[in-house]
Amino acid sequence: MDYATMFDLTGRKALVVGGAGGIGRAAVGGLAAHGAEVVVADVQADAAKAVADEVTVSGGSAQAYELNVLDPQAISQAVADLDPVDILVLTAAVNVRKRMLDYTSEDFDKVIGLNLKSSFAMISAFGRGMAERGSGSIIAFTSIRSITVEPGQSAYAATKAGLLQVVRTAAAELGPQGVRVNAVAPGVVETPLTQPILDNKEWADAYAAKSALGRWSKPDELAGAVVYLASDAASYVTGTQILVDGGWTAIDGRYDPPA
């Protein structure tokens, strides 16, 4: 191991799904800064291009790619267009905050479809080529909700727990072919997905107080975990979940949100 270059991603191609979003955008920036050629994939083509242009202006290498991961044909086309991919990062997610008795089947399908089904499909689609080439790193974003819950989080928590088990299974199945599969579990992050909570001061303050650090995280505080798992520094790390939660799951506390 060359310790001076163990985080160097030069010559590797990274595909970041949801790359125009808060956490995805930070992942793109971190990977590009360490030398990766990054594909910013997002259903919002203009937003993906804006992120790719930012990276290019900063001296990195990035391109935008419009991708709807809910469309199986679009995933197949992405493999044809983009493979070989060395690093796959999955950040796209949605949440419908409702008590279970208020949930509709449409709500449930929406959350399961994007958070779990599409992630399963992407891991399968791009993991195949990685296995054939004998190398690769897949990084899926789960959540603290994969292990701890609260009212209003039933479907979301189920998808994140399910995704963690998909990650572990993929690590077991693809490990012999040299492919590593891991998860990053954020705590509370300031993104558009969590804006309704941030808009409620009592709720936002309670979440801040719940972590050991006493605050929310910024999206760029997740980038280090992505770079680590993508790099040779994590060459013996697979099938695990890295918690980037400010100590949320290390301490006890309770708050009943208005959801």
User: Angle 208-211-216 (CA atoms, 0-180°, nearest 5)?
Assistant: 40
Pairing of strands 241-244, 179-186: parallel
Determine how many CB atoms are found less than 10 A away from the CB of residue 29.
24
Residue 214 contacts by C-beta under 8 Å, 6 or more apart in sequence?
208
Which helix (H) or strand (E) segment is 94 a member of?
Answer: none
| Conformational region of residue 113, where left means phi above 0, alpha means psi within -120 to 50, and beta covers everything else | alpha
Tokens of 22: 């808060």
Pairing type for strands 61-66 and 13-17 reads: unpaired
Rounded to 5, what percent of the chain is helix, strand, coil? 50, 15, 35
| Residues forming the active site | 143, 156, 160
| Total residues found in the chain within this entry | 259
CA distance 83 to 106: 33
Cβ atoms 11, 35 nearer than 8 A = yes
